[in-house]
Amino acid sequence: MLTIDFGPNGVVVIAGRLDAAQSPAAQAFLDQVDGTVTLDCIRLEYISSAGLGVLLKTQKRLMGSAGKLRLSGVNRHLQDIFVYSGFDKIFEIEPAP
Amino acid sequence: MTSHRTFRRSFDSIQDIFAFSAEVFASERIEPSLLPSVDLTLEELFTNMVKYTASTAAVRIDMTKVAGGVEVTLTDYDVGPFDVTQAPDADIDRPIEQREPGGLGLHLIRRLVDCVQYEYSAESRQSRITFRKTQAGATTSDRGTVAGSADAHD
């Protein structure tokens, strides 16, 4: 299961598992955001390459109009995935406390 | 003990695969911190089978508890050969302008599991991909430690 919605202060809150089956819904939501957006990942448990594709596509679109996607509350497992994917070089990542 | 189940060749089966792996981890008392890496590897291998083969046969998944972890085999029927262990790594150093979604699945699993083996029988048109994930070969986050670079398994 995956949920994605706006939280306080315009932050986008994502929770659950961002897998191949859930990625189209996440992409449809993120296609509607503009500017610099923080994605709160504190309750994101899992991401696969399909989910990484959603984040990359969104980052490319936002950076094309001087915005960006920031990732906050990233757990250790997700941090590993981002490092292995080289996403630590193209996203601002704030680890989970 | 080995547990096995077959799954319809569809993205909709991913949730059922995750339910199966969680069930085996619980019943066999396999270290829970290994589950995200096992699930990711299962998803990447299974979705490749869905996307890149014309077969309509179900995919069989076997899971066996081994010392310190688990061994998993995906068996695909009525398919041609594609050796996942020979797929090139993604170029993760490219600037974002030159990166496109896709191509990260096999790159990731080589770094998340201890080993991946591929077997193909031309006679039966059957492929078997086996991977093993153990605490001994666990990444930094699997061990729950802080800081330092994660181990890569190429």
> What CATH code is carried by the domain that includes residue A16?
3.30.750.24
pLDDT number for residue B149: 28
Per-residue exposure over B24-51, b if at least 16 CB sit within 10 Å of its own CB, e if not: bbeeeebbebbbbbbbbbbbbbbbbbbe
3-class SS shares of chain A: helix, strand, coil, % to 5: 40, 35, 25
Report how many domains make up chain A. 1
* pLDDT above 50 for B146: no
Question: Do B94 and B32 meet the contact criterion of CB atoms below 8 Å apart?
Answer: no
Q: Flag the least confident range among A75-79, A80-84, B25-29, B147-151.
A: B147-151
The burial class, CB within 10 Å (0-12 / 13-18 / 19+), for A71 is: buried
Measured between beta carbons, which residues in chain B are less than 8 angstroms from residue A49? 44, 102-105, 108
User: Mean of the pLDDT values across residues B62-89?
Assistant: 95
Q: Determine the average pLDDT of the residues in B85-112.
A: 91
Q: Is B40 helix (H, G, I), strand (E, B) or coil?
A: helix
Mean pLDDT (whole number) for B32-40? 96
List beta partners, residue A43.
A15
Confidence at residue B54, expressed as pLDDT on a 0 to 100 scale: 84
pLDDT at B142 over 80: no
Q: What's the pLDDT at B140?
A: 55
What's the mean pLDDT in B95-115? 92
Residue B141 has pLDDT above 90, yes or no: no
The pLDDT tens digits for A50-66 are 999 999 999 999 999 99
ipTM above 0.95 for this complex: no
Is pLDDT above 90 for B116? Answer: yes
**Between residues 62 and 91 of chain A, which touch chain B (CB distance below 8 Å)?**
63, 75-77, 79-81, 83-86, 89-90
Task: State the average pLDDT over residues B7-24.
Answer: 96
Q: Which bin fits A16, alpha (ψ -120 to 50), beta or left (φ > 0)?
A: left
A64-96 pLDDT per residue, tens: 999 999 999 999 999 999 999 999 999 999 999
Amino acid at position B22, single letter: A
CATH 3.30.565.10 fits B2-142, yes or no: yes
Q: How many angstroms separate the CA atoms of A84 and A86, rounded?
A: 6
pTM equals: 0.89
**Contact B98/A at CB under 8 A:** no
Average pLDDT (A10-29) is 96
Cα–Cα distances (Å) from B41 to A57, A82, B58, B78, in that order, read 22, 15, 18, 22
pLDDT at B55: 87
A65 neighbors A54 (Cβ within 8 angstroms): no
End-to-end CA distance of chain B: 28
The range of the structural domain enclosing residue A48 comes to: 2-95
Contact A76/B36, CB-based, under 8 Å? no
Structure tokens given for A59: 């980052």
**Res. B153 pLDDT band, cuts 50 70 90:** very low
Judging by beta carbons within 10 Å of its beta carbon (0-12, 13-18, 19+), is residue B130 exposed, middle or buried? middle
Instruction: For B91, list phi and psi in degrees, rounded to 5.
Output: -90, 95
- pLDDT at res. A3: 97
Give the mean pLDDT of chain A: 96
Answer yes or no: are the C-beta atoms of A15 and A2 closer than 8 Å: yes
Exposed, middle or buried by CB within 10 Å (0-12, 13-18, 19+), for B91? exposed
Predicted pLDDT at B152: 30
Other C-beta atoms closer than 10 Å to the C-beta of B139 total: 26
- For B21, phi then psi, to 5°, come to -65, -40
Is any Cβ of chain A less than 8 angstroms from the Cβ of B19?
no
Q: Is A24 on the interface with B (CB under 8 A)?
A: no
Of B11, B90, B108, the CB nearest to A20: B11
